[in-house]
A and B are shown apart, each in its own frame.
Chain A
């Protein structure tokens, strides 16, 4: 047998016979077994999205409880202890368990389709990343349900998080849960980076990538750099708490500020990691509804990367009040003001795209267009906090709470909901209800602004963050009531969205392959796509393979219906990082138990660590080792070892 890598692949047309052969090779095992062992990026992507939406709902309910307690002065619906756990859970859930995973879900689903690939570079790692995310979410919510949720806010400052001030298991759940989640994020990021550089269809050179790819790629590179910082911070905190080390305890020579540096070194790039892919969704989705290509593609792609590079140098703007020297404050203040420039590039590119296009006002378009405004509001309030002396007043007030909700809801939730309307036909084969979609959009948009625009004023009137109640004399009562009402209206809007998803998934109108007249490769595939995505490997000649005829801009055209067949095994092709010249044929792994087993083993290990059961820790470690051996055992089919002689 000739090793696949050295073979010259046959080139032919996309035929039903070829599709039947590929289906037999690529389809996930049917039934429950396949459910646990699948490595298909589309199934994993949908799981990510559904799980993240469940957590969005949980985090939303927590937020509503908080808003009820703050609806009027001196209310006693919650005790301070409950309030602190609720606001911490809300932040932790939204920032770590919803906003990043939901983008991973969309990227997991969409990347191979956008890139003309048959799967991600490491399908088993992809499954593993999902299972570990699920394990971490269950772990953290077990803490909450047993009364041990995090209680020190999502950025968890020491020394309050240390055992001396926080003796329960709350912080141990949080610390270990975050280390576990970090594993999922890191392996997922590695998978995206390799996929972006190796799995693109021939001809899809680096200047032809959809902006969503740029967004997730940039975010993934950042995650690889900064997630270790936060995993380390939480691990050190756990050592401080359980083994008496003094990394953060001044009594033993430690530094509370070390926590803040490690956390924000991660935390600020993380903010960009959870908005850049969503900005990419808008950059790719909006032009389809404007019936023209995105204005300034290269500038937008470059500004995505530039935002991240600058984003590594602004973390201290979360720490302006910690007594750092004036010179370093000036530097970080300047960097934080300058970082608005690449964001402005994206905003003007989107505006120009709408102005010079012919907007089709679908629900998805409304969400994408609304995002531009919310992005600008969240952006300018962020620009205000970049000015150190002003920030000394703004920081830790509700102004910052308003700002970060415009950023996270405006630049993450709105694009994600828009993306759901946009790509739902591709994911499920059914259209979402546009009429309900209008109700959904307007309730969310008006509810959100009713709730969160006045919140800026609450902040300017001096209400500090994270207070469980406030006296009537402070002048915040009426505004807080308005915010609570707006929050509930917004929640109804989100509920309408979920209703629409459930209803359309069951009984929506059947979707054609390309309902919107899109420009990128996924719309060339049936809705939903076949397990192998592309029956023949396409060859790409432009940024808009499906619009080439309409734009009439280049003579060699992309070919989608004829190409490499690669039908002798579960095979696909890798290409070179910059020009996407075909490189070699690779064998892709089949369904596997290893990712799930490794995730379960890690879950057992982390529970054992939490309870400090030494025997169980040893057992968990052995299980992890066993699962790794199962995973890494060389397989002949994957060309990981030579065939045996004789």
Chain B
């Protein structure tokens, strides 16, 4: 069995890694304590044979206090270790890095993730959705903004949870040691499709990340084929009030930016693979695969749908 994508007993980055040994430690303490108590209890019950009522009363109050004394002494040790280790680990992972290699502004919304890449030069800033690319080894600061209701940002392999709360900006950070795709998930109940509000963090070597970043800065090319041109018009009338495509006239901001839609592996916030088939199904009837999503079913003819797909696949 492969490791569960959202498991956190292993890690792939320094922030999560600082917590894994502590997690195993408290887990081990818990399992041992549970087993010791189970054995003591079983032995106590099974050893003296039960008998019919009523039986004599056996002992006064002074008997057995040693149990409490030794029980507390023995429990104190793991408690103190946990307390100290917790504070030490907290110190290592809590604070955001002083000089992050990358700063992201993430605004989770019902039920997707808006991701803005910050940069000193405004020309280097861009916006994307549901797929976050980072360079391996880089410490990434994430500023979490409340978009509508409370959501929680969580990439188990890289970082624990931090809530995004309307009216305040929360800071968190993450880093990845190994290239790979790490699944993230909304972890605070946020409404009908809390279940289908995932995203991916793609960690790549710095050069690959740089290539991706440059590609994301590009605007969408004007559609060339007839079908794609017709599709762009359908897009304009059906989609552009919510979705943006940089380089086209679509500038909606209440739904994911689709300028580089085809560069993403998944669509609908981690719900479907980004294939032609699922894209077609999603555009026409999002309520079927993600009931409760804020994107309404589109009344498209077969022709319109075909044209739309011809346009969407140009958004590389």
Contact = CB atoms under 8 A, between A and B. Distances in A.
B75 to A, nearest CB: 5
Given A256-B166, A337-B82, A348-B68, A469 B195 contact: yes
Nearest to B16: A393
Contacts of B4: 461-462, 474-476
Given A333-B90, A389-B90, A393-B160, A351 B193 contact: no
B171 interface: yes
B33 interface: yes
A361 interface: yes
Contact of A358 (B58, B146, B161): B58
Nearest to A79: B291
Contact of B55 (A358, A389, A391, A468): A358
A474 B5 contact: yes
B148 A395 contact: no
B314 to A, nearest CB: 29
B234 interface: no
A257 interface: yes
Contacts of B58: 290-292, 356-358
A299 B68 contact: yes
25 contacts: A160-B191, A250-B166, A254-B167, A293-B61, A294-B61, A295-B64, A296-B64, A329-B90, A330-B87, A341-B79, A347-B37, A352-B64, A354-B41, A354-B45, A359-B45, A361-B50, A380-B34, A392-B159, A395-B161, A461-B7, A462-B7, A464-B185, A464-B194, A474-B5, A516-B53
A467 B192 CA distance: 9
Interface string A536-565: 000000000001001101000000000000
A369 interface: yes
Contact of B22 (A330, A355, A387, A466): A387
Interface residues of B, number: 95
Contacts of A276: none
Interface in B1-25: 1-9, 16, 18-19, 22-23
Contact of B23 (A390, A461, A466): A390
A27 interface: no
B22 A351 contact: no
Interface in B152-204: 152, 154, 156, 159-163, 165-168, 170-171, 185-195
A475 to B, nearest CB: 4
B43 to A, nearest CB: 8
B219 interface: no
Contact of A373 (B38, B48, B110, B186): B38
Given A395-B161, A396-B188, A466 B194 contact: yes
B29 A360 contact: no
B57 A360 contact: no
Contact of A389 (B71, B89, B185, B187): B89
A321 B162 contact: yes
Contact of B152 (A80, A352, A396): A396
A337 B45 contact: no
Interface in A332-353: 333-334, 337-338, 340-341, 344-345, 347-349, 351-353
Nearest to A342: B72
A384 interface: yes
Interface residues of A, number: 95
B86 interface: yes
B247 to A, nearest CB: 33
A360 B50 contact: yes
Interface string A136-165: 000000000000000011000101100001
Instruction: Select the residue from B30, B64, B146 with max chain A CB neighbours within 10 A.
Output: B64
Interface in B24-59: 26-27, 29-30, 33-34, 37-38, 40-41, 44-45, 48, 50-59
A345 B68 contact: yes
Interface string B194-224: 1100000000000000000000000000000
Given A159-B148, A376-B37, 18 more contacts: A157-B150, A159-B150, A159-B166, A250-B166, A293-B57, A295-B65, A321-B187, A358-B58, A373-B38, A388-B86, A390-B19, A390-B22, A392-B159, A395-B187, A460-B8, A460-B27, A464-B187, A473-B5
B258 interface: no
Contacts of A553: 60
Interface in A277-336: 290-297, 299, 321-323, 326, 329-330, 333-334
Interface of B: 1-9, 16, 18-19, 22-23, 26-27, 29-30, 33-34, 37-38, 40-41, 44-45, 48, 50-61, 63-68, 70-72, 75-76, 79, 82-83, 85-87, 89-91, 93-95, 110, 144, 146, 148-150, 152, 154, 156, 159-163, 165-168, 170-171, 185-195, 291-292
B72 A322 contact: no
A393 B185 CA distance: 12
A245 interface: no
A333 B86 contact: yes
A376 B159 CA distance: 29
B156 A393 contact: yes
Contact of B34 (A321, A351, A376): A376
A354 B48 CA distance: 10
Given A255-B167, A396-B187, A355 B19 contact: no
Instruction: Identify the 4 closest CB pairs spanning chains A and B, nearest first.
Output: A392-B160, A462-B6, A250-B167, A348-B71
Contacts of B168: 257, 323
A329 B52 CA distance: 53
A256 B150 contact: yes
Interface hub of A348, A372, A381 (most chain B Cβ within 10 A): A348
Contacts of A3: none
Contacts of A533: none
A152 B55 CA distance: 53
B64 A372 contact: no
A474 B182 CA distance: 12
Contacts of B65: 295-296, 299, 352
B169 to A, nearest CB: 8
B271 to A, nearest CB: 8
A253 to B, nearest CB: 9
Nearest to A303: B68
Contacts of A386: 86
Contacts of A476: 4
B64 A467 contact: no
A467 B45 CA distance: 41
Contacts of B192: 80-81, 84
A197 interface: no
A503 interface: no
Contacts of B18: 389
A81 B292 contact: yes
Nearest to B34: A377
B171 A159 contact: no
A256 B152 CA distance: 14
Contacts of A395: 161, 187
A590 interface: no
Contacts of B185: 462, 464
A494 to B, nearest CB: 23
A79 B150 CA distance: 22
A463 interface: yes
A329 B195 CA distance: 28
A277 to B, nearest CB: 21
B55 A360 contact: yes
A388 B159 CA distance: 13
Contacts of B40: 351, 355
Contacts of B86: 333, 337, 386-390
A353 B64 contact: yes
Contacts of A351: 37, 40-41, 44, 67, 71
A401 to B, nearest CB: 12
Nearest to B52: A360
Nearest to A550: B57
Contacts of B70: 348
Contacts of B38: 373
A517 interface: yes
A340 B79 contact: yes
